[in-house]
Amino acid sequence: MRWTGWIGAAVAPLVLAACHNTHGRIGQPLPHPTQSATAVLHDAGGAEVGRATAREVEGGLRVTLEVHGLPPGDHGAHIHTVGRCDRPGFESAGGHWNPLGAHHGTLNPAGPHMGDLPNLTVAPDGRATLGINVPGATMAGLLDADGSAIVVHAGRDDLMSDPSGNSGGRIACGVFAAG
């Protein structure tokens, strides 16, 4: 079918306008502004020992954690359900972030909690970095009315035992804040 005459001349600009976005490229999706939240971690004595960032990605959140000055070895790392880090034991952070009511651990057939992260392996110089995507997590859930915190535990998480993987006491904590 050929578009000729006044119909084609009238319709063609409308079709092109419908395909045009704010960047002037036809067929390209509009950019989605990425939200982020940051937590500064402190140890039981109040010293700053790291930083965590959560950013929206397709299908969830990307969480990165960088620490320094922690004891070498493997440490459980979790997002906790309350945005409080009262020293010295950080119990105010509550339990693991678990909006779906799952069991603890990525190796648990009934798990994991949304806040279950892999073990953080701290090098002999006290430094470690961890990055993971948390499927299904949202910034709205992370920054809900009572907020959330990221906690590093004294020991290794067995990735199975409910409620915290036998990972021991809490040695560092930071509250997520939009940013």
CA 64/CA 46 separation, integer angstroms: 21
CB burial string 151-160: b at 16+ within 10 A, e below:
bbbebbbbbb
Instruction: Please name which of 148, 147, 112 lies closest in space to residue 132, comparing C-alpha atoms.
Output: 112
pTM for this prediction: 0.80
**Residue 145 to residue 168: CA distance in whole angstroms:** 28
What residues form DSSP beta bridges with 41?
A: 50
Q: Measured between alpha carbons, how far is 175 from 54 in angstroms, rounded to an integer?
A: 11
For the chain, the structural domain boundaries read 1-30, 36-178
Q: How confident is the model at residue 17 (pLDDT cuts 50, 70, 90)?
A: very low
- pLDDT above 60: residue 146: yes
CATH (one of 3.40.50.720, 2.60.40.200, 2.40.260.10, 2.40.50.140) for 36-178: 2.60.40.200
CB-based burial label for 74 (10 Å; 0-12, 13-18, 19+): middle
For residue range 54-84, list pLDDT tens digits in order: 999 999 999 999 999 999 999 999 999 999 9
